[in-house]
Amino acid sequence: MTTCKRGGCLFCDIYEKGTEVIYENEFFYSQFDRFPISPGHSEVIPKRHVANLQALTSEEWKNFFPAIQDTIGIIESTNLWEKYNLFIKDSVNEQSKIYCAQALLHPGLTRTKPDAYNHGLNDGEAAGRSIHHLHWHIIPRYFGDVENPRGGIRHIIPEKGNY
């Protein structure tokens, strides 16, 4: 499988290095996000350098959802307390260390597995994409992590989550 030939792509570099890969199939790999929104926050990333969903081939589509499902299994079977302590010791930068420390304080960390998940991607700059390599976020959710979760991802635009 070939990845980005241009170099300088964070996700291509992570795959080539291989040390942060927690899962892979023929077309995708997964990693724990080093800036976790909640404990277990992970990303499923194509091995091939593509920027958006429309660029995926039919073969990649067939392998995409199994990669998401398998990554959820890894989230649910990983000792996240241990994982974030390791990330703090080997942090990518000071901000990552702060996010990982916050994950260690998260009340959901004491549970054996998340109560639910938010899924999504920022498919384009207008949607907030900052790394121009497709990556699907799996964000574990825990009862009580926010006062009112109703509306979920609709809250990306203020005042649109409550309907």
pLDDT at 4 (0 to 100): 56
Q: Is the dihedral of CA 117, 29, 70, 99 positive or negative?
A: negative
With residue 136 as reference, give the H or E element that holds it: strand 136-141
- How far is the C-alpha of 14 from the C-alpha of 11, rounded, in Å? 5
Residue 152 lies in a domain: no
In this predicted structure, what is the pLDDT of residue 154?
Answer: 77
What pLDDT shows up at residue 152? 81
pLDDT value at residue 89:
95
Task: Give how far the C-alpha of residue 16 lies from the chain's centroid of Cα atoms, to the nearest Å.
Answer: 18
- Residues forming a β-bridge with 136: 44
Q: Are 46 and 60 in contact (CB under 8 A)?
A: yes
Residue 20 in tokens: 């942060």
Asked if residue 153 belongs to a domain, the reply is no
- Which CATH number do you get for residue 68? 3.30.428.10
pLDDT at 1: 45
Residue 74 lies in a domain: yes
> Residue 155: inside a domain, yes or no?
no
Residue 30 domain flag: yes
Which residues constitute the domain of residue 113? 10-142
Total structural domains in the chain? 1
pLDDT along the chain (163 residues), means of 10: 64 93 97 95 97 96 98 96 95 94 90 91 91 96 86 77 70
Check residue 133 and give its pLDDT: 96
Residue 163 lies in a domain: no
Domain contains 148: no
Look at residue 115 and tell me if it is in a domain.
yes
Q: How far apart are CA 79 and CA 58, in angstroms?
A: 34
